[in-house]
Structure 1
Amino acid sequence: MSDNAWGVRSTISAALLTDFAESRDMSRAAALSGTGITESRLADPDVEIAVECEFRIIRNILAHTANEPGLGLLTGFTVHLPMLGSLGIALSTCSTVHQMAEIWSRYARISLAYAHYRLEDAGSRVFLHLDVSEVPPDVRRFALERDLAMLRTVQRELLRWDVPVQRLETDLERHPVYEAVGTLLGISDIAFERPGTLLVFEAADLERPVPQAHPLLRQQHEQMCADIIQRRRERVGLSGRVREQLVRRGGLTDQADIAATLNMSVRTLRRRLAEEGTNFRELSTETTGMLAEELLAKGCTVDTVAERLGYSSVSAFAVAFRSWKGKPPGRFARENYSARRTAAV
């Protein structure tokens, strides 16, 4: 799979990598070289970037540090539960550790992870497979190291106890740094140079109940995770580039402006969007609806959202929002802002 097939995600992971590069005596400009990402975009919470940009940052780090084993582990320890957004909330409200592992396996791609995850129940044992075969070979070791460290860091922030890992099998080559970090990760049995990578757990350890379980909140945020995946899948081709421009402008633009930004005529823009089965009006409506939901869920008033999205009146916005979500914007805001506050507590 080419880097372009990875899609997009928030700038959080890229920002962490850049911070790490700076800690290794790299300038931030050197870390971001070749990515096309500016410092202002890196700090913008509404921006999403191609994961290939992260691979470029990793390559820059490895070139600067002579590709030392263990660097990925160090960056993995900088990932924390709140950085996972809705996925973090869904994980923290699960009923058992096994349920956490299931949700992680299903939605890891919207986290800061690089691996594909697969959970396998095998009687008294449970295997969590990590597949990094789609990661470009030159950054694969770093990516796997970071995922392994991130798993332990996030798990320790989710639970008041450590989930024992009985064994780690990995295709990494043996190196002293892995023995030392294995102890830190709580893994004493490590088998190197295996065909793939997996973590082995006792099934009984994963059935331990989690005291902060909240099924309704988990379902709500699991649905949000599914919505994020669907939205990001749609952001491919020209329609994806148009959506990105619409998001950056807060929905306040027209197709002539977008066409000029993408260096094409309005006629060409219309034709190519039609070839992808959509049109500018549909993309604009979808993006405006998405922005409205996010702003309302963050606590913005209906009046504020209507004004920011360019509606002539609150009533016009309310009519449009009801057509998208089947409920008034005020009700949506109360339900979703309340859920966010509950999760924060």
Structure 2
Amino acid sequence: MARRCAIISRMLDDSWCVRSIHSAATLVDFAVSRSMTVAAALAETGLTAADLEDTDREIEVGQEFRIIENILDTTGDEPGMGLLAGFSVHLPMLGPLGIALGSCATVREMAELWARYAELSFAYCRVDIADAGDRVLVGLEPGALPERLRRFALEHDLAVLRTVQRELLNWDVLVHRLEVALPYASVYEAVGVLLGIAAIDFDRPASTLFLDAADLQRPMPQANSILRRQYERQCADIVERRRARIGLAGRVRALLLRRDRGVDQATVAADLHMSVRTLRRRLAQEGTSFRELSGETTVLLAEELLATGYTVDAVAARLGYTSVSAFATAFRDWKGQTPGQFAQSRRRHY
């Protein structure tokens, strides 16, 4: 828990720290295809198999990072693993962003839209587009990614970019050269051919795709300005909502998770150097409350502890409940089943 929360807390000022559950679910599917169990893929994430089916669920990016670490720990941290994971991401999975991308007027407009909303594309790297004569440079910046995950992330995003582009167009945007901030590995030669990359330069200070500027002026086959505006607005709304969640609410969540047990509002307000009244007012401005945030984190911790083998008595005590019956009643209100039934269902599933 401490390791995951440390990652989350470092990311709290970054709107990329909130992710759709679909991205994590895709990673878990990939893990299963590599002979991992769902339980192994979700270890130490605080997520359950049932969470992956909740289409409205959003998670912290630290939880997704943990899934990647679980994959690398189990299958081996070898070059090419991120590419294989990236090939499992397809256009329909991107939801509103996918429709907006397909509705753009030109390939350049599509690329710029991708760069603007890359955080909705299952990507881990920020995208930057710059003109250089007859070339367009597309940079991939891993930013705050933990060092161990950078190779996986770069590989993953390269594969996603090419896969989605091929599903949007009936021709390939020419990649004259790829400069990549990774050391040489033989697997990249075959993958370069597969991705249609003419040349790859390794051990570069940054990762950059060199594209043909003329290619990017070509029209998109299903251009529709009304659809593009409609679905880009949806993308903007999602990002705005996630940024609002990251503010004070995100800091409160991080404090509740770090404490790993029941804590009152006054204590959290003191940790944030504000009065309880100010805390209430600012959380209300963000559309939430201390009670709601406390409930969210308590459910997360309870599920994680029960799924990892803690007894109901131990979980109740760890979460600060005065009695097991009080915890059981609260848990039944949250999940529609008793803590014992929940724990048994996790064991049966795995």
TM normalised by structure 1 equals 0.72
2: distance between equivalents of 1:201 and 1:281?
A: 44
Structure 1 CA distance for aligned equivalents of residues 203 and 219 of structure 2: 35
What is the aligned counterpart of 2:81 among 56, 71, 91? 71
| Alignment equivalent of 2:129, drawn from 94, 112, 119 | 119
Q: Tell me if the contact between 2:244 and 2:286 (Cα under 8 Å) persists in the aligned partners.
A: no
Q: Tell me the secondary structure at the aligned position of residue 235 of structure 1.
A: helix
Q: What does residue range 199-278 of structure 1 map to in structure 2 within 5 Å? A: 199-236=209-246, 239-240=249-250, 263-265=262-264, 271-272=275-276, 274-275=278-279, 278=282
**Residue 220 of structure 1: how far off its partner (Å):** 1.6
**Equivalent residue of 1:58, what SS?**
helix
Pair 1:3–1:136, CA change in 2 (3 A): farther
Q: Counterpart amino acid of 2:282?
A: T
Do 1:3 and 1:136's aligned partners in 2 also have CA atoms closer than 8 Å?
no
User: Hey, what does 1:91 align to over in structure 2?
Assistant: 101
Unmatched tracts of structure 1, length 5 or more? 244-260, 286-345
Aligned residue for 2:207?
Answer: 197
Q: Which residue pairs with 2:154 in the alignment?
A: 144
2:198 matched to 1:188? yes
Quote the residue 2:116 is aligned against.
106
Residue deviations 1:69-122 (CA, integer Å, cap 9, x gap): 101000100000111111111100000000011101111012200001100012
Contact 2:141 2:206 in 1 (8 A): yes
Alignment equivalent of 1:25, drawn from 15, 31, 35: 35
Contact 1:167/1:201, CA 8 A, preserved across alignment: yes
Q: Residues 231 and 68 from structure 1, CA distance in 2 versus in 1: closer, same or farther, beyond 3 angstroms? A: same
Does the 8 Å contact 2:249/2:288 carry over to 1?
Answer: no
Of 50, 53, 56, the residue aligned with 1:43 is 53
Verify: 1:283 aligned to 2:287, yes or no: yes
Distance 1:43 1:67, change over 3 A: same
Preserved contact between residue 96 and residue 206 of structure 1 (Cα < 8 Å): yes
1:16 aligns with 2:26: yes
Taking the aligned partners of 2:243 and 2:98, their CA distance within structure 1 comes to 21
Aligned-partner Cα distance in 1 for 2:103–2:277: 40
Which amino acid is the alignment partner of residue 141 of structure 1? Answer: R
Query: Which 4+ residue blocks in structure 1 deviate beyond 3 angstroms?
Result: 1-4, 240-243, 261-273, 279-282
For residues 238 and 188 of structure 1, the distance between their equivalents in structure 2, rounded to whole angstroms, comes to 47
User: How many percent identity over aligned positions?
Assistant: 54
Q: Alignment partner of 1:155: what SS?
A: helix
The structure-2 alpha-carbon separation of the partners of 1:32 and 1:201, relative to structure 1 and needing over 3 Å to count, comes to same
Change (3 A) 1:237 1:99: closer
CA displacement at 1:267 relative to structure 2: 6.6
Counterpart secondary structure, 1:283? coil
Q: Paired residues, what number?
A: 269
Distance 1:282 1:127, change over 3 A: closer
User: 2:223, 2:36 → 1: CA distance?
Assistant: 43
Instruction: Tell me: higher relative CO, structure 1 or 2? Use CA pairs within 8 A at least 6 residues apart.
Output: 2
Query: Closer, same or farther in 2 for the Cα pair 1:185/1:129, shift >3 Å?
Result: same
**1:170 maps to 2:169:** no
In 2, Cα distance between equivalents of 1:282 and 1:102: 30
Q: CA deviation at 1:263?
A: 3.5
- Aligned-partner Cα distance in 1 for 2:285–2:235: 26
Give the whole-Å Cα distance in 2 for the aligned partners of 1:170 and 1:284: 42
* Structure 2 letter corresponding to 1:189: A
Shift of 1:217: 1.3
User: Aligned with 2:282: secondary structure?
Assistant: coil
**SS in structure 2 of the partner of residue 117 of structure 1:** strand
Residues 268, 196 of structure 1: CA spacing in aligned structure 2 closer, same or farther, 3 A cutoff?
same
Aligned residues of 1:238 and 1:273 also touching (Cα < 8 A): no
